[in-house]
């Protein structure tokens, strides 16, 4: 004697009804940190030995971190971008996440004059 709850047509129908809730795609992006205005069409220009802490603050805004060293002050700017793509199927799931960081770092003397600075390399398109 067959049970009507486990017949092939009933299982197929239940699978079709439940499948939309079990299958999906997700695409998500987020950005955190400071605005990376050291990049772009007309980035600010800084000169070692001439630019000051005030120049950098005026151009880039408050840094992510200020670090006091023995005889220097360091301004650290960080921008983080995250992109996630995911596929959720009944028997297979795949998630890919890409996080990129854009950094700028500035060293100042005790007199608040820029002694050195550097930017992270720009990501290559498609990388």
> Per residue in 50-108, pLDDT tens?
999 999 999 999 999 999 999 999 999 999 999 999 887 767 888 898 888 899 999 99
Number of domains into which the chain is organized: 1
pTM of structure: 0.69
Q: Per the domain annotation, does 4 fall within a domain?
A: no
Query: What domain range is 73 assigned to?
Result: 23-119
Q: Per the domain annotation, does 10 fall within a domain?
A: no
The pLDDT of residue 40: 80
Q: Per the domain annotation, does 61 fall within a domain?
A: yes
The pLDDT of residue 61: 94
Q: Per the domain annotation, does 9 fall within a domain?
A: no
Cα gap 21→23, rounded to integer Å: 6
Q: Per the domain annotation, does 15 fall within a domain?
A: no
The pLDDT of residue 94: 86
Look up tokens 């499948």; give the residue. 19
Q: Per the domain annotation, does 127 fall within a domain?
A: no
Helix (H) or strand (E) holding 66: strand 65-68
Q: Per the domain annotation, does 38 fall within a domain?
A: yes
Largest CA distance in the chain: 92
Q: Per the domain annotation, does 109 fall within a domain?
A: yes
For residues 39-48, give the mean pLDDT.
91
- Residue 126 scores a pLDDT above 90: no
Identify the bridge partners of residue 95 per DSSP, sorted by sequence position. 86
At 124, is the secondary structure helix, strand, or coil? coil
């Amino acid at each position: 004697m067959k049970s009507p709850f486990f017949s092939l047509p009933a299982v197929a129908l239940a699978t079709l009804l439940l499948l939309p809730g079990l299958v999906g795609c997700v695409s998500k992006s987020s950005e955190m940190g400071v605005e990376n205005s050291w990049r772009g069409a007309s980035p600010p220009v800084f000169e070692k030995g001439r630019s000051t802490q005030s120049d950098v603050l005026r151009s880039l805004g408050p840094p992510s971190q200020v670090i006091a060293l023995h005889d220097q002050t360091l301004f650290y700017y960080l921008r983080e971008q995250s992109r996630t793509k995911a596929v959720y199927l009944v028997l297979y799931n795949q998630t890919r996440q890409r996080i990129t960081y854009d950094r700028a770092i500035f060293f100042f003397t005790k007199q608040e004059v820029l002694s050195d600075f550097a930017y992270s390399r720009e990501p290559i398109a498609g990388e």
